Structure 1
Amino acid sequence: MPRVKQRSKGTGSVYQNSRGQWVAAIEAGWTERGGRRRITLKARTKSAVRVRLAEAQQRIAAEGPTVQKHSITVKRWADLWLEHRQRIVRPGTYVSDRSGVNRWIVPTIGHLRLDALVPADIRKVTVAQEGAGLALATMQRTHTVLGKILTDAVAEGYRVPQHAREAGSPGAGHSPRQSLSTEAAAKILAVAVTRPDASRWVAALVEGLRPAEALGLTWDMVNLEAETMTLAWQLKALPYVEFRRPESGFRVPRGFESRQIQGAYHLVRPKTRAGSRVIPLVPWLVAALSAWAECAPPSPCGLVWPRDDGAPRSAELDRRQWYEIAEEAAVTVTLSDGSVRRPLLYEARHTAATLLLANGIDETTIKAVLGHSSVLSTQSYLHTDRARTRAALAVSAEMVGLGR
């Protein structure tokens, strides 16, 4: 069948090939060697290929012509990507990204070229993780990282087939975290209040502190007279530039604010502005913190809840102590499939939100107390109506038997 060709200079061409397919072609920059880069699009109908051509024209107009680079392997690009990634994302995000790349993406498809990837290659990473028994959330996270790697490769000028970049995700899943019942929370607190550091666990279950916020809280941020605490820092162990080599320095992105307090431990700012906030202390917690201040291990950094030797308390130790309390309280969590597990420490924060909600507290106030970023006005809301949030927290404390 002869070609039926239509062309308007500078806008690409549309024609029908010998197989009856409709084809559109448009110039989109140059190759690294200076040759013209030509994009070819195909469709079953003339109208469909014109739609694809129009989309390509809009993309080129918005992004400008590109220089098509020679293809490289997934591993080579992932190494370059991680080198840049460490300069722009928070250390915890970088460590998570690096783990997904080095443990799963590179070992599975690292030897393949970017321009040769197909959807089946993308799925191989998920299949490998599933075979290792990883949770769906981990598979989703790795798939997201791989998608970001491929999208950034295209932005850099490398060719990655669109059908590979659009490969489906591992699937949707529900978060395993849930809140504890009022009864379960009361049982845990009944055990926790017998400990000298009872205030640590009340801060989690009633005030809704994130674990990193609690471990990074310093006494200068606690105002017992005003009955408030300021949450402006979190305790994090930053990664070294070279694994287990402190002399190599720390991996921190541009503009990242942190204060080293001991070894790899740093006080870092929350991810969002809403994360920094001032919240009221329930009366029980004011008394508990006053008593704790008299017997707490002396911390050179002024940490409220340090280790017994005054050093920063690790997240692992913090979780272990929580599990000990939950086990003594005989509290477990039953999942939808009927299996039973220990309550997670972060579920104390979910419980704090649920207690507030059960008392009819409005969503804006709850987000203000918990420091959620989806309501940016909550900071000024707390400063102007702190009595309201104090009352809300006091009711939560009463529900789990702390009283006034």
Structure 2
Amino acid sequence: MTSTRRAYGTGSVWYDEKRKRWVGTIETGWTARGTRRRKTRVGPTKMAVQRKLREAMREAEQQQAPTVGGKPTVKTWAEQWLEITARSLRPTTWQANASQVATWIVPTIGHRRLEALRPADVRAVERAMEVAGRASSTISRCLAVLTKMLKDAVIEGHPVPQAVLLVQTAAPGESDRDAIPLPDALALLEQAATLPDASRWVAALLQGMRPAECLGLTWDLVDLDEGVIDVSWQLKPLPYRVARDRTSGFRVPRGYNARQVYGALHLVRPKTASGQRIIPLVPWMRDALIAWREQCPASPLGLVWPRPDGRPRDDGDDRAAWVRLQDAARVASVDGEQGRRFTLYEARHTTATLLREARVDDQTITAIMGHATILSTKAYLHTDRGRVRTALEDVAARLQLGALR
């Protein structure tokens, strides 16, 4: 199948070898439920399909009532807002916003005019999510998206009542995420030591690496002679311009550094400059990586922890492996019953907690974790790498990594 990338908004056209026909799709707005409306046209030639797509767009523009009484609705502004913010937001943030808009905001108050909104409309979205049993943190994020969207509408010159922007909603509940208790962390590492890729899980518990950083790590960024890892890339999926349409290209904001590696998966830069950092390797981790390099599946991309076939391991694969490790280690279980499993980010919390318990200073912790709360740079790590290495060796001792050799 051959495909042609076209300017966004003109649809996608490709030749279907199976049907021996040209096929085209184009988005024509939102449905009443808040999902994207897509039209498909088929023809004997590419030009014929392109003509049909233009006709479909004209028909949609004539039939769709983008405003009520000449005034923009929440639904039509939401569509415009998503198109505007796609140029500047990181793809994962944009996707999360689009999901909240399509799932909750548009179905609940999409028919309301911006100028006629009332505080009760904001509370209506909140109630809809509460009735559906959504967590308070999820509700808080959705309402933050709604507020941001309405504030941007004001900036664009749309009338939104000030009272709506000042609505006080319930604060998010406390997260139950925490550091993994040391006995459970030790059990996880003991179980991981039986696996060829044990270094993957030590990278989370000891090095404090984010899941996307581990999945995007390549061997050319691992210096086993110097004993350091250069954390400069993350593996992230980018959204297609048209959902599930692989011929439509990807939504890539301005200035976003991304390299496609497989399907929607791309290597991207961390969100902040402090996310790019050099992490020293303790002896156990260095030895584990040397051993793993000899049996690591061949990856065209040189990935350190790929799938068995060499392709990138996505979030789902990684989480499934993490769950299997916990079940095998019998952690988070009570009286033989599996309780709430730890998330991979809780492994990262564990690193920070162990560093704190080892009385490591804030600046060193920030440099290891890649946070932006303190001014820390790769230059700092180069000039004072010894202090960072000592801190990680202290954590390695607490995790009894020497005993797992």
* Greater C-alpha radius of gyration: 1
Provide the residue aligned with 2:398 in structure 1.
Answer: 399
How far the C-alpha of 1:380 sits from its partner, in A, is 2.6
The 8 Å contact of residues 306 and 313 in structure 2, kept in 1 or not, is answered as yes
Query: SS state of the match for residue 241, structure 2?
Result: strand
1:386 equivalent to 2:394? Answer no
How far the C-alpha of 1:400 sits from its partner, in A, is 1.4
Provide the residue aligned with 2:12 in structure 1.
Answer: none
Provide the residue aligned with 1:220 in structure 2.
Answer: 220
Give the 3 Å change call, closer, same or farther, for CA 70–159 of structure 1 in structure 2.
farther
- How large is the RMSD of aligned CA atoms in angstroms? 1.5
Between the aligned partners of 1:182 and 1:84, the Cα distance in structure 2 is 46
Structure 1 stretches of 4+ with a deviation exceeding 3 A read none
Identity of aligned residues (%): 52
Between the aligned partners of 1:333 and 1:162, the Cα distance in structure 2 is 50
TM-score (norm 2): 0.80
How far the C-alpha of 1:377 sits from its partner, in A, is 2.7
Instruction: Spell out, residue by residue over 1:272-312, the C-alpha distance to the aligned partner (whole angstroms, 9 max, x if none).
Output: 00000001011100000000000000000010000000000
Q: How does 1:36-47 map to 2 (within 5 A)?
A: none
The 8 Å contact of residues 240 and 246 in structure 1, kept in 2 or not, is answered as yes
Structure 2, unmatched stretches of 5+, are 1-68
Structure 1, unmatched stretches of 5+, are 1-68
Query: SS state of the match for residue 138, structure 2?
Result: helix
Query: SS state of the match for residue 392, structure 1?
Result: helix
Between the aligned partners of 1:369 and 1:378, the Cα distance in structure 2 is 10
Give the 3 Å change call, closer, same or farther, for CA 165–333 of structure 1 in structure 2.
farther
Between the aligned partners of 1:340 and 1:122, the Cα distance in structure 2 is 35
The 8 Å contact of residues 217 and 304 in structure 1, kept in 2 or not, is answered as yes
The 8 Å contact of residues 228 and 280 in structure 2, kept in 1 or not, is answered as yes
The 8 Å contact of residues 227 and 286 in structure 1, kept in 2 or not, is answered as yes
1:309 equivalent to 2:291? Answer no
Provide the residue aligned with 2:196 in structure 1.
Answer: 196
Provide the residue aligned with 1:34 in structure 2.
Answer: none
Query: SS state of the match for residue 248, structure 2?
Result: strand
Between the aligned partners of 1:298 and 1:309, the Cα distance in structure 2 is 8
Between the aligned partners of 2:314 and 2:114, the Cα distance in structure 1 is 40
Partner AA of 1:324 in structure 2 = R
Between the aligned partners of 1:395 and 1:95, the Cα distance in structure 2 is 39
Provide the residue aligned with 1:44 in structure 2.
Answer: none
Between the aligned partners of 1:170 and 1:250, the Cα distance in structure 2 is 36
Q: How does 1:27-106 map to 2 (within 5 A)?
A: 71-106=71-106
Between the aligned partners of 1:382 and 1:177, the Cα distance in structure 2 is 29
Q: Which moved more, 1:276-285 or 1:129-138?
A: 129-138
1:366 equivalent to 2:365? Answer yes
Provide the residue aligned with 1:39 in structure 2.
Answer: none
Query: SS state of the match for residue 309, structure 2?
Result: coil
Partner AA of 1:388 in structure 2 = R
The 8 Å contact of residues 262 and 312 in structure 1, kept in 2 or not, is answered as yes
How far the C-alpha of 1:176 sits from its partner, in A, is 2.8
Between the aligned partners of 1:403 and 1:131, the Cα distance in structure 2 is 51
Instruction: Spell out, residue by residue over 1:239-296, the C-alpha distance to the aligned partner (whole angstroms, 9 max, x if none).
Output: 1001111110000101110011111110000000000000101110000000000000
How far the C-alpha of 1:378 sits from its partner, in A, is 4.0
Query: SS state of the match for residue 241, structure 1?
Result: coil
Partner AA of 2:375 in structure 1 = L
Provide the residue aligned with 1:332 in structure 2.
Answer: 332
Give the 3 Å change call, closer, same or farther, for CA 255–378 of structure 1 in structure 2.
closer
Between the aligned partners of 2:378 and 2:104, the Cα distance in structure 1 is 41
1:347 equivalent to 2:371? Answer no
Provide the residue aligned with 2:122 in structure 1.
Answer: 122
Provide the residue aligned with 1:318 in structure 2.
Answer: 318
The 8 Å contact of residues 114 and 160 in structure 1, kept in 2 or not, is answered as yes
Between the aligned partners of 2:196 and 2:301, the Cα distance in structure 1 is 20
TM-score (norm 1): 0.80
Query: SS state of the match for residue 349, structure 2?
Result: helix
Between the aligned partners of 1:248 and 1:344, the Cα distance in structure 2 is 34
Q: Paired residues, what number?
A: 332
Provide the residue aligned with 1:63 in structure 2.
Answer: none
How far the C-alpha of 1:340 sits from its partner, in A, is 3.9
Query: SS state of the match for residue 271, structure 1?
Result: coil
Query: SS state of the match for residue 72, structure 2?
Result: coil
Q: Which moved more, 1:376-385 or 1:124-133?
A: 376-385
Partner AA of 2:251 in structure 1 = R
Provide the residue aligned with 1:11 in structure 2.
Answer: none
